[in-house]
Amino acid sequence: MDSSPHHEGPGTARLTMLGSGTSMGVPSLGCGCRVCRSTDPHDSRTRPSILLSAGGRNILIDTSPDFRLQALRAHIARLDAVVYTHGHADHILGLDDIRPYNMKQHAHVPVYASAHTQAILRRTFAYIFDDAPTMSTVPAIDLREITGPFDAAGVRFQPVPAHHGNTEVLGFRFGRAAYLTDFSEIPAPSMDLLRGLDDLILSALRDKPHPMHSTVANSLDIVRTLAPRRAWFTHISHDLPHDETNARLPANVRMGYDGLTFEVALG
Ligand SMILES: [Zn+2]
Ligand SMILES: [Zn+2]
Which ligand places an atom closest to the C-alpha of 239? 2
Measure Cα distances from 83 to 70, 193, 242 in Å: 16, 18, 28
CA–centroid distance, residue 63 to ligand 1 (Å)? 11
Residue 2 has pLDDT above 50, yes or no: no
- 10 pLDDT band, cuts 50/70/90, is low
CA–centroid distance, residue 62 to ligand 1 (Å)? 10
Give the model confidence (pLDDT) of 98-131 as tens digits: 999 999 999 999 999 999 999 999 999 999 999 8
Residue 7 has pLDDT above 70, yes or no: no
Q: In terms of Cα–Cα distance, which of 174, 203, 170 is closest to 187?
A: 170
What one-letter code names the amino acid at 125?
Answer: F
Which pLDDT belongs to residue 175? 97
Do 177 and 200 touch, CB atoms closer than 8 A?
yes
Name residue 203's beta-bridge partners.
234
Which ligand places an atom closest to the C-alpha of 26? 2
Which pLDDT belongs to residue 3? 45
Which ligand places an atom closest to the C-alpha of 29? 2
Q: Which residues surround ligand 1, an ion (CB under 5 A)?
A: 23, 90, 182
Do 18 and 46 touch, CB atoms closer than 8 A?
yes
CA–centroid distance, residue 234 to ligand 1 (Å)? 10
pTM: 0.94
Task: Order across the sheet with 49-54: list the strands.
Answer: 141-145, 109-113, 81-83, 57-61, 49-54, 12-19, 261-265
Give the model confidence (pLDDT) of 184-216 as tens digits: 999 999 999 999 999 999 999 999 999 999 999
